[in-house]
Amino acid sequence: MIALGHEVILLSSGDHFKKFDTDYSFHSAFLSGYWLPLKIKNVFYKLTGVNLEKAERGLRFFLLLPQLKNFDHVQLINSDAIETFPFFSRILYKKVFKKIKNRSLLICGDETTVIDYLLKKESDYSILTPYFEDNSLKKHFEYPLKYTTKNYRKTFDWLVENCQNLIASDLDYKIPMEKMGYSVHFIPNPVNTRKIEFEEQKINDKIVIFMGINRSSYIKKGIVYFEKTLQIIQEKYAEKVAVIITENIPYNDYINLYNTAQIVLDQIYADDQGYNALEAMAKGKVVFTGAEKEFVQHYNLSEKVAINALPNVDYLVKELSFLIENPNEITAIGKRARAFVEKEHDYIKIANQYLETWNKAYIFI
């Protein structure tokens, strides 16, 4: 948007450990682990049912409200964009919406209707598959499942009624929303390829495979399949590969490490790629991520631009082995990945799609 001459202000928590840059932060800095030990926060929660960090984020957002004036449009990244209590979110959204009349709700992650659809078990697999297979894992799925509870559902329904547009950022959200009867604008994730340098993947000594673990999404992204696969690959190709695994590190540190890799293991349970995968593809890396038939059909692809990652260790070992034994294919897929991102995810093209969508009003089913 800035490249098109518009002023943009970003408010966020920084996405916790990732520490993304933001113009105004409502990160729960005071009540984080440094200032208030985790044990004390847990005891307080058990006694009162109040999550102090959620309370602080809501309060910090409230204090930022005076900054939100003279804007043409507000877009929420999901119905829990402020990451506070649902009732408090609704209060804050109402205050924002009194100032800004043109609004959009972006569906680009866990959301009420998306989780509703996944619970129907109509797809071959999804982020909820591990939960379906083992209900004892329920505590690991508290975050996505919370969107189906009464209070979060109330917030989502209120936003649908009070936003002019619903927008989905990839097929993993577009398909469920439409299956559940909602009209959405499909606008792919933007990637600034002018800032992301493409580097043709040349194999010198060893092929470097990178996997970054976010412990909070470890199970729902199917990381265990990648871990088992890497154990086999490291034994099978000890002289040909080097493996880098990181866990819960800031985004900038994460990028510096994965820049050295030719192959990136992203996630299992997906139809389409999220931003991390797209950024790696833009750099010419081979990414194991969502690249299902729906993705191939939507973009009318005849050759691979990424490796479709399935919850099957034998399959993953076979795909990785092929790349290791045929390094020229790494180079070829990397080039196609870059071309794909330039064509379908160019940030100027995507920004124009957002502007066009924001200027339209739709009636939702």
Distance CA 144, CA 153 (A): 12
Condensed to tens digits (0 to 9), the pLDDT of residues 195-252 reads 999 988 877 789 999 999 988 889 999 999 999 999 999 999 999 999 999 998 887 8
Q: Is the pLDDT of residue 47 over 80?
A: no
CA 96 vs. chain centroid, Å, equals 25
Enclosing H/E stretch for 345 = none
Is pTM beyond 0.85? Reply is yes
Condensed to tens digits (0 to 9), the pLDDT of residues 206-215 reads 999 999 998 8
For residue 363, what pLDDT is reported? 40
Write phi, then psi, for 93 (nearest 5 degrees).
Answer: -60, -40
Q: Is the pLDDT of residue 34 over 60?
A: no
Condensed to tens digits (0 to 9), the pLDDT of residues 147-198 reads 999 999 999 999 999 999 999 999 999 999 999 999 999 999 999 999 999 9
Write phi, then psi, for 317 (nearest 5 degrees).
Answer: -65, -40
> Do 80 and 58 touch, CB atoms closer than 8 A?
no
Of 69, 276, 270, residue with least CA distance to 171 = 270
Question: Residues 268-274: what's their mean pLDDT?
Answer: 95
For residue 96, what pLDDT is reported? 96
DSSP string, 43-91: HHHHHH---HHHHHHHHHHHHHGGG--S-S-EEESSTTTT-S-HHHHHH
DSSP 8-state class, residue 188 = P
Helix axes 313-325, 223-236, angle to 10 degrees: 50
Distance CA 189, CA 278 (A): 8
